[in-house]
Chain A
Amino acid sequence: MNSFLMHWTFAIPEIWVLTMACVVLLTDLFWGDRLRDLAAVLTVLTLIGAAVLTIFEMGQSGTAFAGLFVLDPFTNVAELFSYLAVLMVVLYSRRYLVDRGIYRGEVFVLLLFALLGIMVMVSGGSLLSIYLGLELLALSQYALVAFYRDSVVATEAGLKYFVLGALASGMLLYGMSLLYGLTGTLDMRDIAGALVNVTASNLVLVFAIVFIVAGIAFKLGAAPFHMWLPDVYQGAPTVVTTFLASAPKIGAFALIIRLLVDGGYGMLESWQQVFVALSLVSLVVGNVIAIAQQNIKRMLAYSTVGHVGFLSLGIVAGTEAGLASAFFYTVVYVLMSLAGFGMIMLLSRAGFEAERIDDFKGLAQRKPWYAFLMLIIMFSMAGVPPTVGFYAKLAVFQAVIAAGYVWLAVIGVLLAVIGAFYYLRVVKVMYFDKADAETGIIVRDDLASTALSINSLALLVLGILPGPLMAFCFYAMQGVI
């Protein structure tokens, strides 16, 4: 028992977030009607506190709770970015939720539980804890998508997400159970050791890996497991979409690190091939289908599929630099989608969702500053320098060429050009088209708009000085292999 509790301090950030989630739930129950901002403020404090706690434990590494829990640089860095993502979602959310009459404590409680799920995934050292974290995240997400009860599309999206998500969890769990049957242990380190004695052609192992990768691909949103993504992104309230497109992607990336790298690095060649296919299909599906979209949330959903295709290139490389570049891509993607969906939220108001591309018509004349920010976001997503999106693509291309897949990089860059077209279309609509009289976009300057400005400008500033962020992501991957 003593050894089980040794190093329990590693889990202090998790314990803090769990405690605070319960505190928010209870205080909201008693005082939520009178102090409407209480839950949001407490959530922000929770996130700041968690960040402080995480920074304090940086530099340490090891396992706790008999191997259920792992602390390494990746844990710290991924958790910090997750806090940041949730923080931005909370900052953007207020007016959007108030306008729709759903500014309630439950949203924040669910966000905190989802965050806790991500943290458990990020620090999971055994199949059990990883799966536990994943389900905690997934259940919170289902509820978040569906909780806007008055919206038919949101309810529909919630149900779709639940059914498909449960299927994916099932696949992942089945893969895990095969792995367990093969190795007789749940601990990722022991699994890695046991797999040394298993030949790569072992049919059970191949099945296990395929199921696990399929589950991960679903959570990431890689084609052909992307079917849920457009409907859920479009149907969910934009606050929730912003969340779905941010922190959970870090969680999904953690699945790759924890399951495939920590546990299955010996099987690199098996899952590498699967990722080559996933990457190719995602690049084509995401970038080509996005062209046809008229709804910007749906367009960004397909663009997500495309981005997953790009970041998979780094995973294909399979080296430490490759994984670091994929992680950098993930972080950059999170920053970009926070800004992109944040912009949609900011331009929406009661009874009006700024979600058609045409709603952005003539934005440069009416709101030049927000049009400029959106311009940065779009060029960053397209990967045009000097925005940070370019360096994300540069890093994964560099990794994949280092691994000898020059042809994959060539296909990648060509699809980046196709992708540029639909991002350009948004810029075109904002800058070159005249505004329709009916699409009156009102932006109130408040905390959310300031946060959004910082978020979007960060894409440009990080584009000019990407060194520190990239070094941080490379630090996270140190010794992961």
Chain B
Amino acid sequence: MTHSSLLSYAIWVPIIGGLLVLAVGDRRAEAARWLALVVSLAAFAVTIPLFTGFDTHTAAMQFSERVAWIPSLNIFYHLGIDGISLWFILLTSFLTVLVVISSWRNVQERVAQFMAAFLIMEGMMIGVFCALDAVLFYVFWEAMLIPMFLIIGVWGGPRRVYATIKFFLYTFLGSVLMLVALLYLYFHSGDSFSLLVFQKTPLGMTAQILIFLAFFLAFAVKIPMWPVHTWLPDAHVEAPTGGSVILAAVMLKMGAYGFLRLSLPIVPDASHKLAWLMILLSLIAIIYVALVAIVQEDMKKLIAYSSVAHMGFVTLGFFVFDSVAIEGSIIQMLSHGFISAAMFLCVGVLYDRMHTRNIKAYGGVANVMPIFAALMMLFAMGNVGLPGTSGFVGEFMVVLGTYQVSPWAAILAATGLITGASYTLWLFKRAIFGGVTHPEVAGLKDLDGREMFVLGTLAVFTLLLGLWPAPFLNIVHSSVQHLVTQVSLSKIPA
């Protein structure tokens, strides 16, 4: 199991490949596309041994690498993964392939730069998921903003400049205080930046609460939790389809991952003390933001709000400190990775044909695009949380775990399933069902092979995770147990 530099390959293959794509240049667009596909496949291929070689019986960090990076400041290039990170790495490398394929035709401008931005971002996102040194983590965390800033700003919709600057400043503001907290931890852990050492550092309650709040700001903005979610609808609406997919499917998970990797184990006492606040904010996201989603006219905006609501389940699951709920949250994150990606791709499919995302412009799509309608139906059901789809497993486990701790919170969260059903099904009814009311809709062509491949693959995973979640849970199990033990032990010095 010690294939020692696999993680480095997972990070650097896409980054260096992205630079190569950039070197190919925008003028040779077709070559850039093919090279990007090859790179993304190669990057996916190097992450597969992580899965096959993974030892599910231990919660220790695997595939570790540790090299001195900036000796003057005690910073190490320290990588390693456990069961929690593994899935996100696979999700990232897998979705990047799909993004490259799905952007094949609908991005015509500056193709090489577009593909390169995604590949470079892929490497950085994987970096976040396997960094075990606080500075390395922060570097990947922040560096990711640059490609995303460009993706939204260059290839986005009409209000892209506003959206991308808002996105950048919002997330930048969120993360800088985390940097201060990490530096503070450095001095309290005996001059080390290792996240594993941070997890063992005793801290007083006041320090823990301040650190928790600094982390909270960084992660809550990224997830995003209510009330700092307002950048998300703007960014999503203006981003190109591929950007929305990566944003929803992977970037939002990064905030949640931060809670698992940093907040819970490093400041367990503060996490317990402030759990009520987190649960409250999660419930507001689940209930209120879902209500906001119902009234949206813009399909992308609706799905963006539904993402916020779904991530509410994830954070709810974390802060009841129950292993079933946390595992449910992780499944929910994966499931949301597939389903939200698919939903945005579905909207992208419609947008490519009609150049509008307004629900009112559609209606009766099922009559002319039956295959598309069937696939989108599946994803809509997943979004609702219907048994048999991945959406069910995660939300069910979270509610189940929550019920043991706080029945009221569980009951309130369960109402989210109903609101979720209303906005998703209502969207589906208005856009897809009914008679054809607009002449443009009558002329729509059904999915081509490329689109079918992308959506079909996601459909397989949505069903697989929904029908047979055991292999997914096996991998996370030991790590989650370990985390639950960690978070139950007080770190306040006696």
Contacts and interface: CB of A to CB of B under 8 A. Distances in A.
Interface of A: 324, 364, 368, 375, 379, 384-386, 390-391, 394-395, 397-398, 401-402, 406, 409-410, 413-414, 416-417, 420-421, 424, 427-428, 431-432, 465-467, 470-471, 473-474
B146 A384 contact: yes
B290 to A, nearest CB: 31
B146 A394 contact: no
B139 A467 contact: no
A432 B152 CA distance: 10
Contacts of A385: 138-140, 142-143
A119 B68 CA distance: 34
Nearest to A324: B72
B187 A402 contact: yes
- Interface of chain B: mostly helix, strand, loop or mixed: helix
B184 A401 contact: yes
A276 to B, nearest CB: 17
Best-buried of A395, A413, A414 by chain B (most CB within 10 Å):
A413
Contact of B176 (A364, A416, A470): A416
A406 B143 contact: no
A410 B211 CA distance: 12
B142 A431 contact: no
A390 B142 contact: yes
Interface in B126-183: 135, 138-140, 142-143, 145-146, 149-150, 153-154, 160-161, 164-165, 168-169, 172-173, 176-177, 179-180, 183
Contact of A406 (B135, B160, B172, B184): B184
B135 A394 contact: yes
Contacts of A368: 26, 113
Contact of B71 (A364, A398, A402, A471): A471
A25 B134 CA distance: 54
Contact of A467 (B69, B138, B140): B69
A467 B72 contact: yes
Given A386-B139, A413-B176, A431-B150, A470 B184 contact: no
A417 B169 contact: yes
B172 A417 contact: yes
B180 A406 contact: yes
7 contacts: A368-B113, A401-B186, A409-B180, A410-B177, A424-B149, A424-B168, A428-B153
B180 A413 contact: yes
B71 A401 contact: no
B470 interface: no
A254 B350 CA distance: 63
A257 B68 CA distance: 30
Given A417-B176, A420-B168, A421-B169, A398 B139 contact: no
B160 A432 contact: yes
Contacts, number: 91
Given A394-B73, A413-B179, A420-B172, A386 B143 contact: yes
Contact of A432 (B71, B153, B183): B153
A413 B26 CA distance: 37
A409 B183 contact: yes
Contacts of A410: 177, 180
Q: Is the interface of A mostly helix, strand, loop or mixed?
A: helix
Interface in B419-466: none
B489 interface: no
Given A386-B139, A410-B180, A471-B72, 15 more contacts: A368-B26, A384-B145, A394-B73, A397-B179, A402-B187, A417-B169, A417-B173, A424-B169, A432-B160, A465-B69, A467-B68, A467-B69, A467-B71, A470-B72, A471-B71
Contacts of B26: 368
A416 B183 CA distance: 16
A474 B75 CA distance: 15
A420 B169 contact: yes
A368 B26 CA distance: 10
Nearest to A328: B72
A397 B185 CA distance: 13
B139 A390 contact: yes
A222 B266 CA distance: 38
Given A397-B183, A410-B177, A432-B160, A424 B165 contact: yes
B1 interface: no
Contacts of A473: 72
Contact of B177 (A375, A384, A386, A413): A413
Please tell me the size bucket of the interface on B.
35 or more
B295 interface: no
Given A424-B168, A431-B153, A432-B153, A466 B70 contact: yes
B184 A428 contact: no
A401 B72 contact: no
Nearest to A401: B183
Nearest to A472: B72
Q: Residue among A324, A395, A397 with the most chain B CB within 10 A?
A: A397
A410 B184 CA distance: 11
A457 to B, nearest CB: 12
A417 B218 CA distance: 13
A272 to B, nearest CB: 19
Q: Which of B71, B73, B153 has the most CB of A within 10 A?
A: B73
A379 B154 CA distance: 17
Contacts of A402: 187
Nearest to A393: B179
B72 A474 contact: yes
Contacts of B149: 424, 427
Nearest to B22: A372
A402 B70 CA distance: 18
Contacts of B165: 421, 424, 428
A323 to B, nearest CB: 13
Contacts of A386: 139, 143
Given A384-B146, A467-B70, A467-B71, A428 B161 contact: yes
Nearest to A466: B70
B161 A391 contact: no
A402 B172 CA distance: 23
A384 B176 CA distance: 10
B69 A397 contact: no
Contacts of B173: 414, 417
Contacts of A424: 149, 165, 168-169
Contacts of A406: 180, 184
The interface centre, meaning the residue of A384, A385, A409 with most chain B CB atoms within 10 A of its CB, is A385
B438 to A, nearest CB: 32
Contacts of B160: 432
A397 B180 contact: yes
Contacts of A394: 73, 135, 179, 183
A466 B72 CA distance: 10
Contacts of A409: 180, 183
B186 to A, nearest CB: 7
Contacts of B72: 324, 395, 467, 470-471, 473-474
Contacts of A364: 154
B299 to A, nearest CB: 24
B127 to A, nearest CB: 10
A236 to B, nearest CB: 31
B142 A401 contact: no
A465 B75 CA distance: 11
Nearest to A386: B143
Contacts of B70: 391, 466-467, 470
A465 B177 CA distance: 24
Contact of B154 (A384, A414, A432): A432
A395 B72 CA distance: 9
B169 A432 contact: no
Nearest to B156: A432
Which of B26, B160, B180 has the most CB atoms of chain A within a 10 A radius of its CB? B180
Contact of A414 (B139, B176, B184): B176
B161 A432 contact: yes
A470 B73 contact: yes
B180 A431 contact: no
A233 B145 CA distance: 31
Nearest to B142: A385
